[in-house]
Amino acid sequence: MKYFLILTLGLLAVACSSETKEEIKDLNDILPGSERDYDKKDAVVVEEADTLGTYQNRFAELGTLDSISAYDEDLFPDRFGPKAIEKYQLSIAGENVVFVKWRFSDSARVSNALFNWLDCFGPKCKSIRVAEERNLQSKAFHVFANDSVLIYLESENRLDTRNWDKYFDKSGYELEWDFIMEQTPKGRVRWFTYQDEEKTPVKKEIL
């Protein structure tokens, strides 16, 4: 009886092992063919020279684009239902710049995202009112908002305002901005808008 029980358990183990093997699938059979190293963080957006050339043309006004990769940090406006998001880490002439663009369906959604963001801005969740000049974070940043787009730039160093204005002018945005926020590293936010096609400081008394 003892030997019969052992033999029975042995057969059951073999049967279970066979069933398990049939259910296991090779991950390589499920995933599309790729030679990427999945042990590394998958941040690279541009790998081929011709693709980098395309982005170089797009950002030509800013200088030589050395590389571009995905920027995967969560930012406050992500929560407000944008139709599309672009997030890049640009290396331009040796300097790293974060470029994030949110596209919304209408101006009400842009305003909702922007003004909620102003209530909790940056890593320390600081609040700021329109036209108020105060420091929001240690890094330099620019924010641009019109009736469909919200754009955020960030860098450890001062952002080249003139070159970015040229970039936006070429892209058809420059004269459409309702609000522009500019802050140098550890500096204070300055506010601008466009009036009669001229970049004009926003003053509290005109709000």
Convert 123-176 into a string of H (helix), E (strand) and C (coil). CCCECCCCCCCCCCCCCEEEEEECCCEEEEEEECCCCCHHHHHHHHHHHCCHHH
26 belongs to a structural domain: no
To which residue do tokens 């170089």 refer?
A: 56
89 belongs to a structural domain: yes
1 belongs to a structural domain: no
Q: What digits encode the pLDDT tens for the residues 156-207?
A: 999 999 999 889 988 887 668 999 999 999 999 999 998 887 889 998 754 5
Residue 170's identity, in one-letter code, is K
Q: How confident is the model at residue 57 (pLDDT cuts 50, 70, 90)?
A: confident
Q: What digits encode the pLDDT tens for the residues 74-108?
A: 999 999 999 999 999 999 988 999 999 999 999 99
Alpha-carbon distances of 137 from 76, 114, 147, rounded to whole Å: 15, 17, 26
Q: By the 8 A CB rule, do 194 and 140 touch? A: no
110 belongs to a structural domain: yes
43 belongs to a structural domain: no
pTM value?
A: 0.74
Per-residue pLDDT at 174: 63
- Domain housing 57: 49-206
40 belongs to a structural domain: no
| Total Cβ atoms within 10 A of residue 110 | 24
175 belongs to a structural domain: yes
96 belongs to a structural domain: yes
Average model confidence (pLDDT) across the chain: 79
